[in-house]
Amino acid sequence: MLISQPMTSDTAWRDSHSDPQFWAMLAQTLLPPYVNTCRWFAGKARPQTGFSVKTVHTLALSDGDIAYLLILEAAYADGRPEKYLLPISFLTDHTTHTLSFQPASVPEKARISDDITIGKETGMLIDAIYDDRFRAVLFTAIYQNQTMPQTDGTLTFHRGKGLDEGDEQLPSRVLPVDSSNSAMTFGDKYFLKLYRKLFQETNPEVDMVAFLTDESSFDHIPAFGGSIIWQGNDRPDITLGMVQRMVPNDKDSWMQTGDYLNDFLYAVPQRLFAIREDVFDKVELLGRRTGEMHCALYKPSKPNAPTDPAFEPEPFTDEYREFMINRLEDLLERRYALLIDNYTKLDLQAQRLAWVFMEAKEMIDTFIADFRTRPLSSQRIRIHGDYHLGQVLATENDFVIIDFEGEPESSIAERKIKHSPLKDVAGMIRSYHYAVSAKLFNSVETDELNPDHLQRVSDRWFYLIRDTFLDAYLDVFGAPHPLFKNNSEINFLLLIYLLEKAVYELGYEISYRPSWVKIPLKGIIDVVREIEKIRLSDGEVTPHVPMLQTGLLQTKRE
Ligand SMILES: Nc1ncnc2c1ncn2[C@@H]1O[C@H](COP(=O)(O)OP(=O)(O)O)[C@@H](O)[C@H]1O
Ligand SMILES: O=P(O)(O)O[C@H]1O[C@H](CO)[C@@H](O[C@H]2O[C@H](CO)[C@@H](O)[C@H](O)[C@H]2O)[C@H](O)[C@H]1O
């Protein structure tokens, strides 16, 4: 089924819209090999049974040519099919002279076919994001709030508050970001993200960014510039893209933390433990900004702002508790199975940690079951949902938070569920743990060092940074606060979300970076030790489990 072969079609490009044979042929020949090379295609590791073009939208380009916006379905031997957005354009000798770029400059990864005959013309079939005529149509349509009726529904372009007057025609380019969607910039002032994997709903990122821009004064996100929506009958709107202000930045916080760790690393072989003061300042600032983001999501700070039920705080209901318990149990089940299947591929240290994790199964199960009945009066709100250092851009003196799409593995309905904001906090804490572990255990400077010594140094760095972040975060709210009832609830919830995140990461690493598996495993073991601490303080003594080494959240707020 998945074959690549030359393709010709008798139907002219501009009439291809209504030629089902053309799309069927494309889906069977050129698209499978092409899509499988695309970073945004999440189905590479699944057994595929074929692609089909489900919908074809037509977009008129400024020079009279057209581009198509395809909704492509990928089907698999097991599990549900997925839908992807693929814009395409056809560059021929006929169109070349109208282009402001040379077809030869189109990057390899954009080329679906270098040599295809459609109608009587031969040319290049490309992903249209690399065609500046296509990018211009998208931006102009957003700028002018256009609607474009299609055979199947309507494409609606919505302009947000973040677009300035006089910016309608800006030069554009594709950004070389390696991520699960596609990014373009207009005049290096606006950032347009085209979503690739589509869901039958409004993307949570648009809700979140529009809400924060329109209803709060939190300005550490790029302002909302608009969205591209596909409206249809009897189904929710589907988000195809979003514009935000472009944030001038050198790097994200993952890279910035990596730089700090490079400085730290040089002293380690000399048995010196040195963290620069400005590292603590930055971590504190990020803790504060994270707290401010959650305050804005908890309660818009603008007076007389209307209350949107999608953002209203909620208590820990039985329904939510069941959802979380099922999610954790399901994640754990799948991770145990993955570990067993891949055990022999793990290095010795990872195997040892995997054993500790598996042996702690009963304790973890009891801890999770406790979620069902433990009294909790803290509240839940909409959160970022996939919060880690890579989602925070470092500007000259501050931070800007991006990518509010939620966790890539979850459905859209799941991504819109309200959680304690401690879920985001747990995400960032895990990320600091990742940063130090990845750096210390993968550097030539520390190659020769004793692993136990390295582990102690890495733990020390992590605990200091974690507590700095957490202290600064909680200080934003003051006590008591409806989101954080008391210290014992903070402790419990943070552990639940740390466990959830580390278990999720375990699957991610086994699939993508097997040599990093020990990082989330170590994170899980740390949580297990904390759980044991709670049990000991509850009077249940289990002597064979090691005591905690850390002072996570020692009664700071009670
Ligand atoms: N508003 C912005 N301004 C500047 N760069 C941005 C902006 N938003 C995202 N980026 C850059 O694009 C990359 C991908 O964006 P992200 O929202 O994380 O996309 P994805 O959903 O594909 O992961 C980011 O890591 C960052 O480098
Ligand atoms: O692509 P996304 O940003 O949506 O997130 C996925 O990939 C992340 C890796 O790029 C992964 O994050 C994990 O690794 C990070 C370091 O590379 C680390 O900072 C994070 O803490 C850790 O979770 C993320 O889990 C995954 O959803």
Mark residue 304 as left, alpha or beta (left: phi above 0; alpha: psi -120 to 50; beta: remaining): left
pLDDT score at 201: 80
| Any ligand 2 atom below 6 A from CB of 432 | no
CA of 470 to the centre of ligand 1 (A): 25
ipTM of the complex: 0.96
Cα 310 from Cα 322, distance rounded (Å) = 20
pLDDT score at 540: 52
* Residue numbers of the chain with a pLDDT score lower than 70: 1-6, 300-307, 535-558
Residue having the nearest C-alpha atom to atom 7 of ligand 2: 508
| Any ligand 2 atom below 6 A from CB of 402 | no
Cα 308 from Cα 488, distance rounded (Å) = 30
Asked whether the beta carbons of 421 and 381 are under 8 A apart, the reply is: yes
| CA pseudo-torsion sign 351, 353, 354, 359 | positive
Of all ligands present, the nearest one to the C-alpha of 505 is 2
pLDDT score at 301: 53
Token pair in block for residue 93: 């000798």
Token pair in block for residue 44: 């590479």
Token pair in block for residue 481: 């606060």
CA angle, residues 369, 372, 375, in degrees to nearest 5: 120
Radius of gyration over every alpha carbon of the chain, rounded to an integer in angstroms: 25
In DSSP terms, 315 is beta-bridged to: 379
**Ligand 1 atom nearest residue 405's Cα:** 21
**Pocket perturbation via mutation, ligand 1, pick of 403, 409, 415 by most ligand atoms within 8 A of CB:** 403
| Any ligand 2 atom below 6 A from CB of 390 | yes
Q: Which domains does the chain have, with CATH numbers?
A: 8-130 (no CATH), 135-245 (3.30.200), 251-537 (3.90.1200.10)
Counts for the chain of helices (H) and strands (E), in that order? 15, 19
**Ligand 2 atom nearest residue 179's Cα:** 1
pLDDT score at 2: 40
| Any ligand 1 atom below 6 A from CB of 205 | no
Of all ligands present, the nearest one to the C-alpha of 394 is 1
| Any ligand 1 atom below 6 A from CB of 179 | yes
CB atoms near residue 12 (< 10 Å): 12
Give the H or E element holding residue 93: helix 93-96
Residue having the nearest C-alpha atom to atom 25 of ligand 2: 505
Cα 444 from Cα 458, distance rounded (Å) = 15
Of all ligands present, the nearest one to the C-alpha of 432 is 2
pLDDT score at 3: 43
DSSP letter at 306 equals: P
Residue having the nearest C-alpha atom to atom 13 of ligand 1: 177
**Ligand 2 atom nearest residue 430's Cα:** 21
What are φ and ψ of residue 553, in 5° steps?
A: 50, 50
| Any ligand 2 atom below 6 A from CB of 389 | yes
Give per-residue burial for 406-429: e unless 16+ CB within 10 Å, then b: bbeebebeebbbbbbbbbbbbbbb
What are φ and ψ of residue 224, in 5° steps?
A: -75, 125
pLDDT score at 302: 57
CA of 402 to the centre of ligand 1 (A): 6
- Find where tokens 């919505």 sit: 158
CA angle, residues 507, 323, 382, in degrees to nearest 5: 90
For the stretch 326-343, pLDDT in tens is 999 999 999 999 899 889
| Any ligand 2 atom below 6 A from CB of 508 | yes
pLDDT score at 480: 82
| Any ligand 1 atom below 6 A from CB of 110 | no
Residue having the nearest C-alpha atom to atom 1 of ligand 1: 246
For the stretch 179-224, pLDDT in tens is 789 999 999 999 999 999 998 888 899 889 988 988 888 999 999 9
Residue having the nearest C-alpha atom to atom 18 of ligand 1: 403
What are φ and ψ of residue 88, in 5° steps?
A: -130, 145
Q: Where are the alpha helices (DSSP H) in 184-343?
A: 204-215, 253-267, 277-298, 318-342
| CA pseudo-torsion sign 201, 144, 196, 405 | negative
Residue having the nearest C-alpha atom to atom 17 of ligand 1: 403
* Cα 504 from chain centre: 13
**Pocket perturbation via mutation, ligand 2, pick of 404, 508, 515 by most ligand atoms within 8 A of CB:** 508
| Any ligand 2 atom below 6 A from CB of 424 | no
CA of 78 to the centre of ligand 2 (A): 26
**Ligand 2 atom nearest residue 409's Cα:** 27
**Ligand 2 atom nearest residue 254's Cα:** 19
| Any ligand 2 atom below 6 A from CB of 386 | yes
Q: Please name which of 41, 53, 119, 139 lies closest in space to residue 88, comparing C-alpha atoms.
A: 53
Cα 558 from Cα 551, distance rounded (Å) = 15
Residue having the nearest C-alpha atom to atom 21 of ligand 2: 431
DSSP letter at 485 equals: -
Please enumerate in sequence order all residues whose Cβ is within 8 A of that of 373, keeping only pairs 6 or more positions apart, or say none. none
DSSP letter at 85 equals: E
pLDDT score at 550: 34
Token pair in block for residue 446: 């520390």
**Ligand 1 atom nearest residue 246's Cα:** 3
The CB-side HSE value for 289 (13 A sphere, CA atoms) comes to: 24
**Ligand 2 atom nearest residue 438's Cα:** 16
Cα 462 from Cα 212, distance rounded (Å) = 31
| Any ligand 1 atom below 6 A from CB of 181 | yes
